[in-house]
Amino acid sequence: MIRGLRNGDQRGIRISDGDRDLAAQRLREALAEGRITIEELEARLDAVHAAVYAADLRQPLAELPGGDAVALPVVGRSGADPTVLRVGAAGLKRAGEWIVPARLQVKGGMGSVTLDFCKAEIRNPIVQIELKLGTGSVQLLLPNEATADVDGVVATIGAVNSKVPSKPKTGATHFVVSGHTRMGSVTVRRRREFAGLRF
């Protein structure tokens, strides 16, 4: 069964603008790789931008490697609400072995956040993280080969800094980070190694 569709439901879940952007990006990569022509790109892009449901993306991504994985985000339950992580004044840190849901929402008025995904169990090709924060920095530590799109993040007073590629890779987890923080920076990077230590 195509991911994102349920048995007996051929329309599936509704997709977001971010899902359409990922599908469009995969088509542009296919053009650069010589897999499709400019004429095919234009026709497929029209279909992607008109797509409403996950199933609508199957045809424009047909015959391309990794198409479904890039375009059809896996949500644990169709239409499921995001898992909410609440940040207190002492901050929030999640590290080690933990199960990462397809959608995370991080909320809080004050306190820094560190989410370390390096040893976590990531079951979905795309992980969506929405930030709704007041003050405090955010640090996301990603596994090797993972990519991240941070274009949807707004830091009112602070910077958004990603040190990993933004283009999705077939077979690697892609993080889509959005939302806002009023005061504090957002950093996305891999864990560093020094003298046998990782941090």
pTM over 0.85: no
Domain boundaries, the chain: 17-71, 83-198
The DSSP secondary structure of 85-145, one letter per residue, reads EEEBTTBEEE-SS-EEPSEEEEEEEE--EEEE-TTSEE-SSEEEEEEEEEES-EEEEE-TT
- Evaluated on CA atoms 198, 168, 136, 98, the torsion sign reads negative
pLDDT of 62 reads 87
**In the structure, what pLDDT confidence band is assigned to residue 2 with cuts at 50, 70 and 90?**
very low
The angle at the Cα of 88, spanning 86 to 90, to the nearest 5 degrees, equals 135
Rounded Cα gap, residues 16 and 8, in angstroms: 22
pLDDT grade for 25, boundaries at 50, 70 and 90: confident
pLDDT higher than threshold 70 for residue 79: no
∠ CA(66), CA(124), CA(107), 5° rounding?
A: 130
Distance CA 82, CA 101 (A): 8
Percent of all residues in the chain with a pLDDT value above 90, rounded to a whole number: 47
**Mean pLDDT, all residues of the chain:** 82
**Per-residue confidence at 5, pLDDT binned at 50, 70, 90?**
very low
Assess whether pLDDT exceeds 80 at residue 80: no
Please name which of 140, 55, 54, 151 lies closest in space to residue 100, comparing C-alpha atoms: 140
Sort residue 68 into left (φ over 0), alpha (ψ -120 to 50) or beta: alpha
Q: Which pLDDT belongs to residue 112?
A: 95
pLDDT in tens, 164-185: 999 888 889 999 999 999 999 9
4 pLDDT more than 70:
no
The Cα-based distances of 168 to 70, 108, 113, 192 in angstroms read 7, 29, 24, 22
Burial of 15 (0-12, 13-18, 19+ CB in 10 A): buried
- Strand partners for 100: 122
Statement: residue 68 has pLDDT above 70: no
